[in-house]
Amino acid sequence: MRRPLIAGNWKMNLNRSESMGLAQGIVQGNCPGGVEVVLCPTFVYLDAVSGVLDGTSVKLGGQDAYHESNGAFTGAISMVMLADLGCDYVILGHSERRHKMNETNAMINAKLKVALATGITPILCIGELLEEREAGQTQAVVESQIDGSLASLNAEHVAQIVIAYEPVWAIGTGKTATPEQAQDVHDDLRKLLASRYNATSAAAVRILYGGSVKPSNAAELLSQPDIDGALVGGASLQTDSFLEIIAASTAEAAS
Catalytically active residues are 94, 166
Given the complex with ligand PEP, which of 197 and 209 has the nearer CB atom? 209
**Residue 78 one-letter amino acid:** S
Query: Rule CB under 6 A: which of 166-225 touch ligand PEP?
Result: 166, 171-172, 210-213
Beta carbon nearer to ligand PEP, 46 or 213 = 213
Stretch that binds ligand PEP, among 56-64, 177-185, 197-205, 228-236 (CB under 6 A): 228-236
Stretch that binds ligand PEP, among 66-74, 128-136, 140-148, 226-234 (CB under 6 A): 226-234
Of 17-25, 108-116, 229-237, 243-251, the segment contacting ligand PEP by CB under 6 A is 229-237
Query: Using CB under 6 A, which residues numbered 52 to 111 contact ligand PEP?
Result: none
Amino acid sitting at position 214: K
What minimum distance in Å lies between the beta carbon of 245 and ligand PEP? 10
**Closest distance of CB 214 from ligand PEP, Å:** 8
Rounded alpha-carbon distances, angstroms, from residue 90 to 9, 73, 139, 232, 244: 10, 19, 25, 14, 23
Residue 108 and residue 129: Cα distance in Å, rounded? 18
Told to check if 231 binds ligand PEP by CB under 6 A, we report yes
Within 85-178, residue ranges assigned H as helices are 95-100, 105-118, 130-134, 138-149, 155-160
Nearer to ligand PEP, 103 or 166 (CB): 166
Integer-rounded Cα radius of gyration of the chain: 17
Residues 7-46 that bind ligand PEP (CB under 6 A): 9
Q: Are 105 and 144 in contact (CB under 8 A)?
A: yes
- Under DSSP, is residue 63 helix (H, G, I), strand (E, B) or coil? coil
Minimum separation from the CB atom of position 241 to ligand PEP (A): 10
C-beta separation of 77 from 66 below 8 A: yes
Q: Which residues are CB-neighbours of 86 under 8 A, at least 6 positions away?
A: 46, 50, 53, 54, 60
Cβ distance to ligand PEP smaller for residue 42 or 198: 42
Among 61, 190, 234, 252, binds ligand PEP (CB under 6 A): 234
Binding string to ligand PEP for residues 147 to 166, with x set by CB under 6 A, is what? Answer: -------------------x
Interacting residue with ligand PEP among 118, 233, 247, 252 (CB under 6 A): 233
Nearest to 9 by CA among 172, 248, 202, 224: 172
Count CB neighbours of 255 within 10 A.
8
Binding site for ligand PEP (CB under 6 A): 9, 166, 171-172, 210-213, 231-235
